Amino acid sequence: MSMLRTTALLLTLVFPSLSALATEYPLPSPKSRLVGENLYYTVPEGKHTLEDIAAQFQLGLSNLLEANPGVDPFLPKPGSKLLIPKQLILPNAPREGIVINVAEMRLYYYPKGKKTVEVLPIGIGQIGKDTPENWVTSVQRKRANPTWTPTPRIRKEYAARGEILPAVWPAGPDNPMGLYALYIGNLYAIHGTNASFGIGLRVSQGCVRLRHDDIEHLFKTVPIGTRVQFVNQPIKATEEPDGKRYLAVHQPLSRTIAEFESNEPVALSLPKDIAKFIAKADTDSSMIKKLLDERTGVPAIINQ
């Protein structure tokens, strides 16, 4: 059986609800935060972009780039094997409503009354136009076919590049907000996009972007009033009921253009709860160093 067919079979077995809409995981017990299993995928012959592969597996571009250091960010080599990071540690946040972890560029949705979590990849704000990082709000209204009213600052920036924006961009498939929007607060929204690229990247004016099918799914299933929490957790940890302790380390968000454009890794600090989690006698220090150095976002066992 080919690797592609094997992968498809594994997806059916492990993620029966994986589709173009969302990856849905059964919720683990309250004492567990580990969900899913990783997969491997062999890039077939032909011009298959990494964005195409990311979309196929419900991932953002950064998720694949982190998990596969050295992969070509545009056209991965046919025959090369990619790790598909489908094993996740749930964010350290209430399992309620929507939780957005900007550090890993994923949105977690806990539907009320269901023992599941849906995970979707997102695009977030550019440096200087940051998406909120520590904020609790709610879905205040929803709108299909939204218009876009660019701020004076945005219009000025576009004008400097020779692009003149209208005062109000009309609704439609060419609208930068896509075809659906969930408004949270006065300045931000969770919305679609008119672009075919950018999910898993820092591309927006501060809002949260999703692929068309994903935002349509949320629009149809997320009620007004749903709790929304933003967190910034590049390091996630869990001690499972069997005693195994897992750590997942993502690249932290750059704070400046200089950091973003540098080849040097962004400084990574350990929150107190993570430092305490690591500081145990059975911790494998070599594994900790590996995770902090590589920052693949993939959970790994850290106790011997």
How many CB atoms are located within 10 Å of the residue 128 CB? 9
* Half-sphere exposure of residue 291: CA atoms within 13 angstroms, side-chain side: 24
Residues in the chain: 304
CA–CA distance, 87 with 287 (Å, rounded to integer): 18
d(CA 43, CA 143): 38
Angle subtended at Cα 143 by Cα 137 and Cα 146, rounded to the nearest 5 degrees? 110
Question: Are the CB atoms for 91 and 65 separated by under 8 Å?
Answer: no
DSSP secondary structure code for residue 123 in this structure = B
Kindly name the residue from 48, 207, 212, 250 that is annotated as catalytic: 207
Choose the catalytic residue: 48, 191, 212, 250: 191
Tokens at residue 214, please? 């994903």
Measured between alpha carbons, how far is 94 from 117 in angstroms, rounded to an integer? 12
Q: What is the 3-state secondary structure (H, E, C) of 22-62?
A: CEEEECCCCCCCEECCCEEEECCCCCCCHHHHHHHCCCCHH
C-alpha of 277 from chain center: 24
Our answer to whether residue 212 is catalytic in this structure is: no
Backbone angles phi, psi at 115, to 5 degrees: -95, 55
Hey, which bits of 197-290 come out as E strands? Answer: 202-204, 208-209, 227-231, 235-239, 245-249
Residue 158, classed as helix, strand or coil, is: helix
- Tell me, yes or no, if 191 is annotated catalytic: yes
Active site residue ranges: 191, 207
